[in-house]
Amino acid sequence: MKEKDNPLILVVDDTLANLQVVAEVLSDAGFEVAIATDGERAIKQATISQPDLILLDVMMPGIDGFETCRRLKAAPATCGMPVIFMTALSDTTDKVRGFNLGAVDYVTKPFQEAELLARVTTQLKLRYLHQTLEQQVEQRTTELQTALQQVQQSQVQLVQSEKMAVLGQLVAGVAHEINNPVNFIHGNLTHVQDYTDNLLAFVQLSQQHSGNAAIELQDTVADLDLEFIRQDLPKTLASMKIGTHRICEIVRSLRNFSRLDEADCKTVDIHEGINSTLLILQHRLKSTPGHPEIQIIREYGQLPLVECYAGSLNQVFMNILANAIDALEELSAKRTYQENQSQPSQITIRTTAIDHQWVQVAITDNGSGIPQEIQQRIFDPFFTTKPVGKGTGMGMSISHQIITEKHGGKLTCCSTLGEGAEFVIQIPVQGV
């Protein structure tokens, strides 16, 4: 902050002769001067011209100097202006009263020119130093707050990254352990099917030539109910094949989600990332005694493969979908059974390609919506509406950083209170 070369002094006195003398002294010393002849005009003039200092006569008609000073100090626009009283009063009580009202000094009439200039100059320097100090303190406080916020954000990001990396490793390990025995079972079911078909054919052929079979063999065939087995066994094997195929799909999705621990930018299918994230959250989508089922509506468009950080992107999907589930669970807990049945909880996921250069993922829920004042802060670090212990307030902030900084994309929120919320992710196909 630079000190003014020609500070503005407002001189307030009802005696024109005094005004002329003081104005001349100040002008000769290089100050700019404004004048007022009573307290009311002084307040208006100070509000408009914003002087750097006010020389205020105590004894004036209408409102006196004390009342004028009180009003100046009570108004936000003028409260910071230093006031020096000009008075012929020498009573200590009057001086104390003036200081209590906010005055910074006194000049006793008749004043000495050198004393007047010295007191004015001193108070202007003090004001300049005070303003400079306030500015430096404010600037330093802002810098410290920013630094603290960055440190806290880095700490939370580190914890979050480690947690997601551990989750990725756990999922990858589980998928690996399940994959081997499931592949063994699934692969051998084909052979079992062939063996079963051959055995059933043999049994059928044997029955056709069983007229002379021993009585014990005929009784055993009757007890086994071979006809039922012949019809039911192929169905059982087909069901087992469907089940093992489903497990193989789950393992593949788990492996896809375990990309969380991959740091490289790779070309991936965005839909696989969304589906694998939904699989991880499947237990929260199912109906429970406390909450109805949450329906997932997939409206997938034709997307090109996208060059991105797959693990980080899955983390964004996880944060947005988990928040949507939280909102729907909170709303369903407030509604009656009939309301939940007539208005089922839904999350809609729409994907589209934009000009072959961008892909867009819109995740919409039909919850209670987000108030406007919260929407404005939803991506701020450490901002959360959840109870203590339920959230760090970093999920959406980290998601915004992943999309905007890591992928050069956009993450926006649009919500109408009572009608749900929509988060829209846009990222370039070729990466950054």
| pLDDT reading at 178 higher than 70 | yes
Lowest mean pLDDT among 40-49, 166-175, 410-419: 166-175
What integer pLDDT is reported at residue 291 of this predicted model?
A: 82
Return left, alpha or beta for 351; rule: phi > 0 is left, psi -120 to 50 is alpha, else beta: beta
In the chain, the domains with their CATH numbers are 8-111 (3.40.50.2300), 146-261 (no CATH), 262-432 (3.30.565.10)
* Residue 284, φ and ψ in degrees, nearest 5: -90, -10
What integer pLDDT is reported at residue 356 of this predicted model?
A: 85
pLDDT digits (tens, 9 = 90+) for 229-249: 778 888 888 888 888 877 777
Q: How many CA within 13 A on the CB side of residue 360? A: 14
Top mean pLDDT of 170-179, 190-199, 245-254 is at: 190-199
Model confidence at 261, in pLDDT bands (50, 70, 90)?
very low
The three state secondary structure string of the chain is: CCCCCCCEEEEECCCHHHHHHHHHHHHHCCCEEEEECCHHHHHHHHHHHCCCEEEEECCCCCCCHHHHHHHHHHCCCCCCCCEEEEECCCCHHHHHHHHHHCCCEEEECCCCHHHHHHHHHHHHHHHHHHHHHHHHHHHHHHHHHHHHHHHHHHHHHHHHHHHHHHHHHHHHHHHHHHHHHHHHHHHHHHHHHHHHHHHHHHHHHHHHCCCCCCHHHHHHHHHHCHHHHHHHHHHHHHHHHHHHHHHHHHHHHHHHHHHHHCCCCEEECHHHHHHHHHHHCHHHHCCCCCCCCEEEEEEECCCCCEEECHHHHHHHHHHHHHHHHHHHHHHHHHCCHHHHHHCCEEEEEEEEEECCCEEEEEEEECCCCCCHHHHCCCCCCCCCCCCCCCCCCCHHHHHHHHHHHHCCCEEEEEECCCCCEEEEEEEECCCC
| pLDDT reading at 131 higher than 60 | yes
| pLDDT reading at 387 higher than 70 | no
Compute the Cα dihedral for 266, 272, 277, 279 and give only its sign: negative
The residue with tokens 């979050």 is 160
What integer pLDDT is reported at residue 255 of this predicted model?
A: 66
What integer pLDDT is reported at residue 391 of this predicted model?
A: 58
Share of the chain above pLDDT 70, in %: 82
Confirm if 11 and 33 have CB atoms less than 8 A apart.
yes
Q: What is the mean pLDDT of residues 378-393?
A: 66
CA–CA distance, 53 with 82 (Å, rounded to integer):
5
What integer pLDDT is reported at residue 413 of this predicted model?
A: 92
pLDDT digits (tens, 9 = 90+) for 4-17: 668 999 999 988 88
Top mean pLDDT of 129-133, 145-149, 205-209 is at: 129-133
Share of the chain above pLDDT 90, in %: 25
| pLDDT reading at 169 higher than 80 | no
Neighbour-count burial of 283, counting CB atoms closer than 10 A to its CB (0-12 exposed, 13-18 middle, 19+ buried):
exposed
Lowest mean pLDDT among 38-52, 121-135, 216-230, 395-409: 216-230
Comparing 226 with 183, the larger pLDDT belongs to 183
What integer pLDDT is reported at residue 43 of this predicted model?
A: 92
| Residues contacting residue 161 through CB under 8 Å, at least 6 positions apart | none
Q: What is the mean pLDDT of residues 226-231?
A: 76
CA–CA distance, 23 with 40 (Å, rounded to integer):
20
How many Cβ atoms sit within 10 Å of the Cβ of residue 27?
12
CA–CA distance, 275 with 359 (Å, rounded to integer):
16
Average pLDDT, the chain: 82
| pLDDT reading at 405 higher than 80 | yes
Q: What is the mean pLDDT of residues 133-137?
A: 85
Terminal-residue alpha carbon distance, the chain: 41
CA–CA distance, 150 with 161 (Å, rounded to integer):
16
Q: What is the mean pLDDT of residues 286-298?
A: 88
How many Cβ atoms sit within 10 Å of the Cβ of residue 258?
23
Q: Which of 182, 364, 167 is nearest to 276 (CA)?
A: 167
Residue 279 one-letter amino acid: L
What integer pLDDT is reported at residue 432 of this predicted model?
A: 65
What integer pLDDT is reported at residue 301 of this predicted model?
A: 94
The residue with tokens 């929509």 is 422
CA–CA distance, 423 with 71 (Å, rounded to integer):
51
Comparing 179 with 307, the larger pLDDT belongs to 307
Q: What is the mean pLDDT of residues 352-374?
A: 91
**Which tokens go with 210?**
């069983």
CA–CA distance, 60 with 70 (Å, rounded to integer):
15
Q: What is the mean pLDDT of residues 22-38?
A: 90
